[in-house]
């Protein structure tokens, strides 16, 4: 039996309801074996982002000895029997997306502040990559944002980014760093899911002001009426008739010695791209969420090998199946995709909730037990390691 473990996020739901779940799926029989309640991060009640923000179950990382599961601010580690091994958190790391287990710690993508960091199991930040420091090195990106975090202070931050009241997302998040993977030679690829220039960032600030002032829903209602009158098809990635801002998705390569270079760019992006996955030789998968496309590219040349549209839904989360196909998330569905023939084989629905979307997908090793019905039970006597 191939068991998949899947994290999800639920949008536009009140604080009193779970913001996501962890599912375990019998892949061959397309049967959900367990739905697990997650642990909500602190300060969720102060997060006014109805779509992402502090919501949901996030990245999953697994090796033979343990599984790590993240929410927006904390990473929980368990052994194969789901005995809690520890909790990791750091004030400089939040809006956590993908995570990656490595020797003695976890690589964390912190979308809130354009940061990718290595946290030891103790919670100490041993290494970090602040993408804004490399704007000049990423030729062709045209991205020269202000340096708003002191590199000397990042490991011992005087701002607790886990609390949204302490910082302005529109100021610190201009790249939406959301995925990391290792190549065979030890180099890292990092996804800058939505790189915004100054104009786009300004427009997002205006949107935030309209939302906080209570005008945004009125604007959306007007747009709905115009769409109905003109019989315009609604894209799930854009609430407005004309997208107010577009950016770029970029994949950067960080060499083992620290050199940073631009590997891949995607233009006309209004929803962050997601989920880097090396599959074989020099080929990596990247998901263009804006267009619902799965992309195969060469990580040495940056050449795009293939681009295939697979969904109109929110494309995020991908893993390689034992038979060589891949499986991806699209809202509440899983899409099985043939890489060689570049076509969809099948889809599996795990949730009929229109507000719920797949976040990450991993294969649960055969020697791992099913997770508990709630993650809070095995960690109830543990305290997070201080960052």
Mean pLDDT over residues 272-286, rounded? 95
Between 225 and 314, the higher pLDDT residue: 314
pLDDT, residue 73, reads 96
Closest CA to 59 of 88, 104, 96, 10: 96
Residue 206 has pLDDT above 90, yes or no: no
**pLDDT tens digits along 164-197:** 999 998 899 999 999 999 999 999 999 999 998 6
Q: What is the pTM of this model?
A: 0.88
DSSP result, 367-384: TSPPPPSBTTTTTTT--P
Give the whole-number percent of the chain exceeding pLDDT 70.
Answer: 85
Confidence band for 280, pLDDT divided at 50, 70 and 90: confident
Residue 111 has pLDDT above 50, yes or no: yes
Residue 235 has pLDDT above 80, yes or no: no
Mean pLDDT over residues 248-258, rounded? 91
Mean pLDDT over residues 229-256, rounded? 65
Distance CA 171, CA 6 (A): 31
Lowest mean pLDDT: which of 28-42, 114-128, 159-173, 197-211?
197-211
Rg of the chain, C-alpha, whole Å: 20
Domain parsing of the chain, residue ranges: 3-196+245-364, 197-244
**pLDDT tens digits along 303-312:** 999 999 999 9
CATH superfamily, with its number, for domain 3-196+245-364: TolB, C-terminal domain (2.120.10.30)
Mean pLDDT over residues 51-69, rounded? 92
Lowest mean pLDDT: which of 86-100, 174-188, 253-267, 343-357?
253-267
């Amino acid at each position: 039996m191939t068991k998949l473990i899947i994290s999800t996020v639920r949008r536009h739901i009140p604080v009193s309801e779970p913001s996501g779940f962890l599912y375990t799926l019998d892949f061959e029989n397309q049967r959900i074996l367990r739905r697990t309640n997650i642990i909500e991060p602190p300060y969720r009640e102060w997060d006014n982002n109805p779509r992402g923000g502090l919501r949901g179950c996030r990245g999953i990382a697994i090796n033979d000895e343990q599984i790590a599961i993240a929410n927006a601010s904390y990473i929980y580690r368990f052994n194969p029997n789901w005995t809690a091994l520890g909790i990791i958190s750091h004030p400089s790391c939040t809006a956590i997306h993908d995570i990656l287990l490595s020797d003695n710690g976890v690589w964390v993508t912190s979308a809130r502040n354009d940061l990718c960091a290595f946290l030891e199991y103790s919670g100490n930040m041993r290494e970090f990559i602040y993408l804004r420091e490399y704007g000049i090195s990423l030729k062709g990106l045209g991205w020269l944002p202000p340096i708003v975090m002191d590199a000397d202070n990042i490991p011992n931050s005087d701002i607790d980014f886990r609390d949204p009241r302490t910082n302005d997302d529109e100021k610190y998040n201009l790249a939406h760093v959301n995925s990391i993977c290792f190549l065979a030679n030890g180099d890292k690829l990092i996804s800058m899911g939505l790189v915004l220039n100054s104009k786009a960032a300004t427009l997002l600030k205006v949107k935030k002001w309209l939302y906080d002032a209570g005008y945004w829903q009125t604007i959306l209602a007007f747009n709905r009426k115009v769409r109905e009158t003109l019989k315009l098809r609604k894209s799930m990635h854009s609430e407005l008739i004309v997208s107010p801002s577009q950016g770029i998705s970029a994949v950067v390569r960080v060499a083992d010695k620290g050199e940073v270079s631009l590997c891949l760019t995607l233009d006309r992006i209004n929803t962050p791209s997601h989920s880097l996955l090396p599959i074989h030789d020099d080929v990596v998968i990247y998901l263009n969420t804006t267009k619902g496309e799965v992309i195969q590219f060469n990580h040495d040349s940056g050449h795009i090998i293939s681009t295939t549209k697979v969904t109109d839904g929110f494309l995020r989360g991908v893993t390689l199946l034992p038979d060589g196909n891949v499986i991806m998330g699209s809202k509440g569905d899983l899409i099985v995709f043939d890489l060689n023939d570049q076509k969809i084989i099948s889809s599996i629905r795990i949730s009929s909730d229109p507000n719920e979307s797949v976040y990450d997908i991993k294969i649960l090793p055969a020697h791992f037990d099913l997770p508990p019905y709630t993650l809070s039970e095995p960690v109830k006597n543990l305290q997070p390691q201080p960052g």
